[in-house]
Each structure stands twice: as C-alpha cells, then as structure tokens.
Structure 1
Amino acid sequence: QSFLQPFGDIFLRMIKMIVVPIIVSSLIVAVAGVGDLKAVGKLGAKSLSYFVVVTMIAIAVGLISANVIQPGAGVNMNNLEQTDISTYVDTA
C-alpha cells in the first residue's frame, strides 16, 4: 500500500492545481458576462444568502443527527487498550 502513496499525492496535487483556476476563471467570466455592476451586486447578495441558508441547514442536520444517533455513547473508555502513538505523532 505504501508504494501507491506517491501516486495518490500526485493525483491530489493535480486536482488542487486544476480546481482553483477553474473556479477563479468561472467567477471572472460570470462577472464579466453580467456587465452591470448593480446586477453583480444582486447576484452576490443572492449567492451569499444561499450560502448562509444552506450552511445553517447543514449545521442543523448535523446537530440533530448527532443528538439522535449519539455516536460513541456505548464505548467504555476504561477497557480500551493503550498503545504507543509516538510513531503517528512523528509522521504527522
């Protein structure tokens, strides 16, 4: 599995290298295509309000599902095996 690590790193770097220019160029083309500065402001306000509403919905769904499911509620921490994590700390 460790021999695949460089390929995964290269793939993720390539994705990051492609995504940012696509987003920036699409924003520039969208603003240039609208033309009117007032319309750009309205579009920005709509986008910001959409972002805020969807973020609030996501937070509500996350909090409700965490309170209903209660992940980790039945885990007894005293019975867990304690191991040395120094190798993980060094790699991080």
Structure 2
Amino acid sequence: MNTMLALARTIANAALVFEFSEDSQVDPDLAVQALEQMAHDLQRLSPDEQRALSEAFRSLSSGYANTANAEFVASLGASLGLANSTEAP
C-alpha cells in the first residue's frame, strides 16, 4: 500500500468513527469539531495533494463491506471540501 492510500485509510477510519458512533460512544459536538478540524487541516494541502487524497478515498471505498461506510468514504473528499472531489467513485 502506498503512502497516500495508507494516510487516506487512516483518515477515513477516524472519520467513520466520528460519523457513525452512537452519541453515548462519542460526544456529538466533539465529533463535529474533530471532522471540521480535519477538513480545515486537509484543505491546507496543495490542490494536487487534495486531488490525490480524494482519489485515494474513492479507491479505498470498495474495500468497505458495509455499504454506508463505503459510500461515506467514497464521498469523503467532497465532504471535507477537498479540490476536485465531487466526481463519482
């Protein structure tokens, strides 16, 4: 697995926890704050890096057995406001 795919998988897995955990498991306000901070930090990447990360999310999405998780990961670049990430997986 290349570096970008490894980073994308790590980011996606963290985002999945924040997005799909029950309120009793992760405070909803903290989850939103964490996702917003993640988006802010990733938007500071260069446009080429943002495109590569968005593509990595789309590429990884097929590896998630749960359909909701796969769809979430496929659209994660767009959800995080990354460049050129509105394309379908």
Which fold has the larger relative contact order, with Cα–Cα distance below 8 Å and residues 6 or more apart in sequence?
2
Which bracket does the TM-score occupy, shorter chain normalised? 0.3 to 0.5
Query: Structure 2 length as normaliser, TM-score?
Result: 0.40
Larger Rg: 1
TM-score w.r.t. structure 1 length? 0.39
